[in-house]
Structure 1
Amino acid sequence: MRYLSEIGAAWRPLLAATLGMGTGMSIIGTVTSAIAPSLIADAGWSKAQFAMTGMLGMLTALSMPFIGRLADLFGVKLTALIGIVAMPLTMLGFSLIGGSFEAYLGIFIFQSIICVTTTATVYTRLVVQHVEHARGLALAIVACGPALFAAIGGPVINEFVEAHGWAATYRMLALFTTLAGIAVFLLIPAGRAHAALVTAPRRRAREDYPEIFREKAFWLLFGAMYLCNLPLTLILVQLKMLVLDQGISGEGASIMFTALAVGMLLGRFVTGVALDRFAPQVVSFVMLALPGLGLFVLASSWDAPMVVTAAIFSLGFAVGAEGDILAFLVARHFRTGIYSSVLGLLTGVCSLAAASGAALLSWTLARTGSFDSFLLTVGTSVVAGALLLLMLRKEPQTEEALPEPQPEPLSKPLPA
C-alpha cells in the first residue's frame, strides 16, 4: 500500500513531469518521423542528406551537461521555462522554411541546444525529489509521456500530414506546444523546496565533477549508453523510411508508429516495476539487449508485416526501458545534489551516440542504398553495451555526501 500511496501523494510533480516530457523535446523524433517523408519529397532533399541532420545531435550532447547543471542549481521550474517558450517558436519556424535545407538546419540547431531543457534531464528531477520507494514506477509514469504522445499523436500527425501538408502540421504543433507548455509550467511545484534550492549556497563545479568522474558506475554507464544509442536516430527519426524500405505501405506505417509507441509504454512500466523489485543491473541488461534481436530481424529477409511489426515493437520496448533505466541507475549510484549534472552528462553521451549513428547511417545509405549494413552493426553494439551494465555493483554506493558549502558570516565575532 505504501508503494502506491507514495505515487498518489506526489501526483502534482508527477503530472507536471509526465505532461512536460510528453509535449517537450522528447516528441521531436515522433514528429520528424511522421513529417520527414512529405518534407523531403516536397523539398527535393535526398534521404542521405536528411540523415545527416541527425549528426547535429552533437550539439545536444554538448549542451546537455550545462542543462543538467542549471537544473541542479536553479531547479526544474526556471530551467524548463526556457524550452517551454522556445519549443512553439521552433515549430512555427519550421513551417516557414519554404523547402530551404539551410533554414531547416538553422532552426534544428537552435532547437537541439535550447529546447533540451524540456527533457528527462530536467523533469525526472521532480521524481527524485518527491519519490523514493516507488521511484522505478514513478519514473516509468513520467517517461510514458513521449510514448503516449507517439501512440496518440503519431498516427494523428501522420494523417494530418497526408491531408494538409508538412507546413500546416508544424503550425498546428506550434499551437499545441504553446498550450501544453502553459499547463506544465503552472503544474510544476514552486513551494518552499524550490525557494530553498534557488537561494541555497552554490556548490562549485570543481567540487562536484571530480566526485562524478571518480565513480566507476559513471564510466560503465558512459560506455553502455553510447553503444546502446547508436541506432537511436533510426528508431526515432528514420522509422517511416525504414518500414517503407521493408515494403510496408504509407498507411501501414501508422501501424508501425502504434507498435513502437505500445512497446515504449510497456517498456516503461515493466522495467520500472522490475527495477523496484529485482537486481537493477540484471533488469537493465535484459531490457537493453532486446532491440539487438529486433535490429537483426530487420536486417534479415524476413519482411512479413507481422515480423516487421514485432521487430519495431521490440525497438520501442527498449527505448521505453532505457529512459527509466538511466534515470534510476543515476539516482541509485549518485546523490540527489548532483543528479541532473550526472544525468545531463550521460544524456549528452546518448546524443553523441545518436549523432555518431546518424553519420554511420548516412555513410552506409550513400554507399549501399540499404539499411541492412547499419542494422547489423548497431545490433551488435547494442548487445555489447547491455553487457557492460552487468558490471555495475549489486548495491548502491553508501558514501557520505560531501558537505554543502556554508555562507560566510557577515561580520567577525567580537572578541570576548
Structure 2
Amino acid sequence: MNYIGELRVNWRSLLASTVGHGAGLAATAYIIGTFAPHLLAEFGWSKSDFALLGTATLLTLVCLPLIGRLTDLFGVRRVAITGVLFLPLSYLALSFFNGELRVFIAITMLQVIFGTTTTSTVYSRLVAERFQNARGLGLAIMASGPAIVGAIGAPLLSNYIDTNGWRAGYQALAIFTACFGIIALFLIPPHEYLGALPRSKRQARRDYKVIIRSPAFWVIAGGIFLCNIPQPLHGLQLKMMLLDNGAGPAFASKLVSMYAIGVIIGRFVCGLALDRLPAHWVAAVGMGLPSIGMFMLASSIDTPWALGSAVLLMGLSQGAEGDIAGYLVLRHFKVDIYSSVLGLVIAALGIASAIGAGLLSLALKLTGGYDLYLALTAVGVLIGSGLFLLLGRSNIGDREIAG
C-alpha cells in the first residue's frame, strides 16, 4: 500500500487516536498554565510550592508500564475507557475544591494514575499496528491532538476564565473531555490487532527480558530522560516563566498559543522527516532544539522577538518528541510489545519531569527566578539529544527485537 493509501484506508483509527489523545491527559500540559496565575492569586500559593505539583508525574513510573502492558494484552478501547470516564469527573472536582494545595495535588495525582490511559502509550498503538510507510506522519497526526487543543483552546479558555472565573473554566474542560473522549471510543475500529500470540501465551517475563537486554532501549530511555528534565517549563510553568521574563499577560497568552502552534509544526515536520531520513539524526536534531530557546530565555535578552523565538523552538522540539519516542520504539521492537516498551520509555519521561519539578522548586527558592534552572537543564538537553546518535551504530541500532 502506498503512502497516501495507508492514510485513506486507516482514517478511522487515525481519527480515533487523534481525538482521544487530544481530549486526554496530555492536553492539560497546554491549558493548565492558564489556570495557574488565577489560582496563585486567589489562594496565595507561592511559585515554588506550585512547581512541586510536577512531582506527581513520578506516578508514571508505576502507571505507564502497567498501562502499556494492559494495552498490548486487551486493546486500546478497554484501557482508554477508564480515563475517558475519570478525567471529566476530576475537572469537575477541581471546580469545587476549597483552595487547599494538598487537595489540588491529590486530585492531580489521581489524574495521573487514571488519566494515563488516555495518553500516547495507549492511543498511538492504533497507528503502530496499522501503518508502515506513513508511520511517521501517522504518529505526527495522532500526537498533534493535544497541541491543536492547546493552540485553539488556550486563548479561548483564558478569555472564558477572565469573564466567568477559573471554576467555570474547569467545568467547561470537564464537558469538553467527556464529549470528545466518548467520540474517540466510538471511532476505534471494532477489531484491534493484539499481537501475533494469543493473550494466554504472552509471557511478561520473556517480553521484559528482551526489552531490558536491548541496548537500543537504554539509549532511547536515557535520551528521553535527559531531554525532559525541563519538562515543567512546557506546561505548568510556561506562562509564569514568560511573565517573569517581562512579557505582559496578554502577550504571554499569545506566546502560549505560539508554543502550541510550534508543537503542531514540529509534529508534522518531524513525522515527515522520520519517514524519509535516518531516525537517529532526526531524533538528535529534533530533541536538541529547545536547548537554544532555553539559553535564550536564561540570557538578559527579553525582547518580544527573542521570547517568541525561544518559545517557538521549545514548541517545535516538544512536537518532535511526540513522534520520535513512538517511532524509535517501532524501529527497534515488534508491534506485539509496542505499548509495553513505550510505557517504560514514557515512564522515564515522567521521572525526568518529576525530578525537574523538584529542581525547579529548589531553584526558585534559591534565586527567585528561572535563569539558573534554564541554563543547567539546557546542558542536559544537549547531552540527551546527542545520545540518540548512538542508535546509528550497528551494534546498537541494527537489532530488531522479536516480540
TM range (shorter): over 0.9
Alignment of 1:202-351 (within 5 A): 202-351=201-350
Equivalence for 2:11: 11
- Aligned to 1:392, what secondary structure does the other structure show? helix
Q: 2:138 is aligned with what amino acid?
A: A
Q: Where do 5+ consecutive residues of structure 2 fail to align?
A: none
Q: 2:370 is aligned with what amino acid?
A: F
Query: Which range moves more in the overlay, 46-55 or 388-397?
Result: 388-397
Alignment of 1:82-121 (within 5 A): 82-121=82-121
Equivalence for 1:52: 52
Q: CA deviation at 1:258?
A: 1.7
- Residues 144-170 of structure 1: CA deviation (Å, up to 9, x unaligned): 101101110111111112111111100
Q: CA deviation at 1:102?
A: 1.8
Equivalence for 1:20: 20
- Residues 125-148 of structure 1: CA deviation (Å, up to 9, x unaligned): 000111111100100111110110
Q: Does the CA-based 8 Å contact 1:75-1:197 persist in structure 2?
A: no
Equivalence for 1:170: 170
Q: 1:304 is aligned with what amino acid?
A: T
Q: CA deviation at 1:26?
A: 0.4
Q: CA deviation at 1:397?
A: 3.9
Q: Does the CA-based 8 Å contact 1:230-1:357 persist in structure 2?
A: yes
Task: Give the TM-score, by structure 2 length.
Answer: 0.97
Matched, 1:140 2:152: no
Q: CA deviation at 1:30?
A: 1.6
Q: CA deviation at 1:201?
A: 2.3
Q: CA deviation at 1:306?
A: 1.3
CA distance, structure 2, for counterparts of residue 401 and residue 44 of structure 1: 54
Q: Specify whether residues 237 and 359 from structure 1 end up closer, same or farther in structure 2 by C-alpha distance, changes over 3 A only.
A: same
Q: CA deviation at 1:198?
A: 11
Equivalence for 2:402: 401
Equivalence for 1:372: 371
CA distance, structure 1, for counterparts of residue 8 and residue 311 of structure 2: 33
Count of residues in correspondence between the two structures: 401
Q: Does the CA-based 8 Å contact 1:77-1:190 persist in structure 2?
A: no
- Residues 61-90 of structure 1: CA deviation (Å, up to 9, x unaligned): 221100101101100010111100111011
- Aligned to 2:260, what secondary structure does the other structure show? helix
- Taking every aligned residue pair, what percent have the same amino acid on both sides? 42
CA distance, structure 2, for counterparts of residue 30 and residue 304 of structure 1: 23
Task: Give the TM-score, by structure 1 length.
Answer: 0.94
Q: Where do 5+ consecutive residues of structure 1 fail to align?
A: 403-416
Q: 1:90 is aligned with what amino acid?
A: S
Equivalence for 2:155: 155
Q: CA deviation at 1:171?
A: 0.7
- Residues 177-233 of structure 1: CA deviation (Å, up to 9, x unaligned): 111111011001122646x88964241211110100111000101110110001111
CA distance, structure 1, for counterparts of residue 393 and residue 153 of structure 2: 39
Q: Specify whether residues 300 and 306 from structure 1 end up closer, same or farther in structure 2 by C-alpha distance, changes over 3 A only.
A: same
CA RMSD of aligned residues (A): 1.6
Alignment of 1:381-400 (within 5 A): 381-393=380-392, 397=398
- Aligned to 1:278, what secondary structure does the other structure show? coil
